[in-house]
Structure 1
Amino acid sequence: MNRYRFAIIGCGRISYKHVEAIAANKNEGILVCVCDIVEERAVSKAKQYKEKCPPEQLPKVYTDYQEMIEKEQIDIITIATESGYHAEIAVYCMNKGINVICEKPMALSIEDADNMICIAKLNNVKLCICHQNRFNSSIQLLRKAVEKNRFGRLISGTARILWNRDMDYYTQAKWRGTWELDGGALMNQCIHDIDLLQWMLGGQIDTVYAQCDTFLRKIDAEDFGAIIIRFKNGAIGMVEGTTCIYPRNLKETLDIFGEKGTVSIGGIAVNKIDTWSFEDESQDNEFISKFSSKDPDTVYGFGHKFLFKDMINAIRENKTPYVDGEEGKKAMAIVLAAYKSRLTGKEVKFPLEWFSTLDMKGFTGKG
């Protein structure tokens, strides 16, 4: 079986998880090159891969992704740059016929997200967005319960992301916390859990209302945000997210409440089932404990290797990736609506067609 040839663009904070994921799928994929405008970072990631897969050759190092694409044969590119560059780079790669795995958020505007989805279809390539927590064992079990209607009528859900990111985190990379390239706690830290919340409660949004502020960190965007999401099925979702928790990360939780069921998932990466209670729960007792797995080493969790494996299968079998562009767009749209609500002081009605040309550069104040 021929192995797919991977490349990584952007070798910063999250990129080591991409290296790990490619190495974990070494029977079906190989990292052939890495790219970063800071050469030392690219060299570091190439060495990390070589250490994990000692028989392999050292991946080639580039500082210009367009040059890399012209010179190398690449099947799948993973994009882990600053968020504000995701769309531009993804479109370039897909127009060259290359499949793309893109870190969250996929873009910083509805227009760019829609363009990415369109370009993938036009070029007959796969686009996958890195919402890796969907692959957590606990989350997969919860999703099956939702699909089997074990909750009965869905009533509400909460996502709480109570983390610490001090000013050193933001000063290490000047793009963090900016409207142009990042956004704040909701877009950067909370988007994974917003994705899980909307996925479980029905996906179809009616309205979004938000309150946000910048309390402690000297950044453009918010370091605290609260969102109320009303779904078209009547359920209500609530998000509380912050980077101001003292002195370190406190918790990351997802709770889903229904007519006939309650589930609470915690752990440092929504990986542990804390509460699992259903009207028909008798069949669950013998296997629930195995889904309360040990915590991963970081908040990035266990899911990247499974997401990369799914992308490989999607290409090989010509099927849609589990988290494609349409799915990746949903949480991003909720955050953009929350930012609009912050500015106007009003709830935002979906769909967001009228919102399509407004990008993050438009969010310059508190409203």
Structure 2
Amino acid sequence: MLNFAIVGCGHIAKKHAEAIDRTEGAALAAVCDMIPENMEFYRETYNAKTYTDYSELLADKNIDVINICTPSGFHATLAVQGAEAKKHIVVEKPIALLMDDTNAIIDACERNGVKLAVVHPNRFRPAMKKLKEVVESGKLGKISHINATVRWNRNQAYYDQAPWRGTKGLDGGVLMNQAIHNLDLMLWMMGDVNEVFSMSATRIRDIEAEDVCTGLVKFSSGALGVVETATTIYPKNFEESLSIFGEKGTIKIGGPTAVNVEHWNVEGTSEEETAELKKLIEEDPFGKPGHQCIIEDLVEAVKENRGPIVTGEDGKKALELVLAMYESAETNQPVNMQPQEVLN
């Protein structure tokens, strides 16, 4: 049995608690938050111990895993401290807001021999798993390009509910906070990126970071990518989608939260097979909750002494893309993302 502790009892913490509760071999043993009232739900529902002092939580030898659910700007400090205390780490997206912080988290976990899992749960959605299978099979042939789209609504009240929301230091904008899941999926499907060019703006929301961002991506394979992200859509979430275009197939996974097969036309796949695939996904579009898949995998990773499915390096790649797009938007120049050894 692995005993988990959640740090930061905001909105996303409940998904972690439910995932832990549903996972065999896992138990929610403790929670930590600076505001005692935020922890009452977890004490009453799961009989979790409550801590307002993180160092006291880390000193609890009964705790095996720390789930970090705080504002993004605090991820690095808490993750490094947790790793130094020999606790396995589950960190919400994004892994951090800065590359140096990300490297510090990965290094601390490696030095202390603890597992590091980053929460990119959308990889576990049935439609995305099927899409990944087809891409890896080569059935699409040479891929020309991919579109990653997030057209969502986050109104001003969303940003006003906490002073850190929409700030560059603790939260980030639509690219860092909302669209990073979609970008992770794009990277998961397409591999490494060589070059990006992007533009961003703060058009409607009264926040420090961007509320709309568009960009172009060139992958190491030579394929291209188009990124469009916004939290300005009226009056509610309109679309999250991933569309892939190959010489032998066209696929779009879409809907408000990218769980529906909106188009699936692959050479060699009959209309009957396509209809059966769509029906199967329509019956259970979300599948097992992604957070639960992350927790279950972490338990198995510890048991089998292997790396988690979504690693620190995966989280780092998604962050690298976001930061490159930010740099391009600020400089109005393309940004080369090839490793230095490749460039030399």
TM-score (norm 2): 0.94
What's the counterpart of residue 233 of structure 1?
221
Structure 1: tracts of 5 or more residues without a match: 51-57, 354-367
Q: Which moved more, 1:310-319 or 1:287-296?
A: 287-296
The residue identity in structure 2 corresponding to 1:18 is H
Pair 1:73-2:62 in alignment: yes
For 1:72 and 1:40, the matched residues in 2 are separated by 25
The DSSP-based 3-state class of the residue aligned with 2:264 is: strand
1:12 is aligned, of 4, 10, 13, to 10
Pair 1:350-2:340 in alignment: no
For 2:259 and 2:148, the matched residues in 1 are separated by 13
Contact 1:133/1:269, CA 8 A, preserved across alignment: no
What's the counterpart of residue 187 of structure 1?
176
Contact 1:253/1:266, CA 8 A, preserved across alignment: yes
For 1:231 and 1:163, the matched residues in 2 are separated by 26
Kindly report which structure 2 residues correspond to 1:104-115, keeping only aligned pairs within 5 A, or say none: 104-115=93-104
For 2:188 and 2:234, the matched residues in 1 are separated by 30
- What is the deviation of 1:45? 3.2
The DSSP-based 3-state class of the residue aligned with 1:40 is: helix
For 2:43 and 2:135, the matched residues in 1 are separated by 41
For 1:350 and 1:296, the matched residues in 2 are separated by 33
The residue identity in structure 2 corresponding to 1:128 is A
What's the counterpart of residue 122 of structure 2?
133
For 2:228 and 2:334, the matched residues in 1 are separated by 17
Kindly report which structure 2 residues correspond to 1:1-367, keeping only aligned pairs within 5 A, or say none: 3-25=1-23, 27-48=24-45, 50=46, 58-201=47-190, 203-282=191-270, 284-285=273-274, 286-294=276-284, 302-351=289-338
TM-score (norm 1): 0.89
For 1:295 and 1:259, the matched residues in 2 are separated by 27
Q: Deviations over 1:264-289 (max 9, x none)?
A: 11233322212111112138333442
The residue identity in structure 1 corresponding to 2:290 is G
For 1:123 and 1:319, the matched residues in 2 are separated by 15
Contact 1:268/1:296, CA 8 A, preserved across alignment: no
For 1:122 and 1:278, the matched residues in 2 are separated by 45
For 1:43 and 1:351, the matched residues in 2 are separated by 48
The DSSP-based 3-state class of the residue aligned with 2:317 is: helix
The residue identity in structure 2 corresponding to 1:140 is K
For 1:334 and 1:156, the matched residues in 2 are separated by 17
Structure 2: tracts of 5 or more residues without a match: none
For 2:323 and 2:42, the matched residues in 1 are separated by 32
The DSSP-based 3-state class of the residue aligned with 1:216 is: coil
Cα gap change, 1:144 to 1:112, in 2 (>3 Å): same
- What is the deviation of 1:251? 1.4
The DSSP-based 3-state class of the residue aligned with 1:71 is: coil
For 2:91 and 2:15, the matched residues in 1 are separated by 13
Cα gap change, 1:223 to 1:66, in 2 (>3 Å): same
The DSSP-based 3-state class of the residue aligned with 1:175 is: coil
The DSSP-based 3-state class of the residue aligned with 2:242 is: strand
- What is the deviation of 1:68? 1.1
- What is the deviation of 1:214? 0.3
Contact 1:223/1:243, CA 8 A, preserved across alignment: yes
For 1:342 and 1:112, the matched residues in 2 are separated by 22
Percent identity between the two aligned chains: 40
- What is the deviation of 1:158? 0.9
The DSSP-based 3-state class of the residue aligned with 1:337 is: helix
The DSSP-based 3-state class of the residue aligned with 2:59 is: helix
Contact 2:8/2:68, CA 8 A, preserved across alignment: yes
- What is the deviation of 1:296? 5.6
Q: Deviations over 1:166-225 (max 9, x none)?
A: 111111111111111111010001000011012112x21111111100011111110000
Contact 2:126/2:285, CA 8 A, preserved across alignment: no
The residue identity in structure 1 corresponding to 2:316 is K
For 2:174 and 2:205, the matched residues in 1 are separated by 11
What's the counterpart of residue 359 of structure 1?
none
Number of residue equivalences: 339
The residue identity in structure 2 corresponding to 1:229 is V
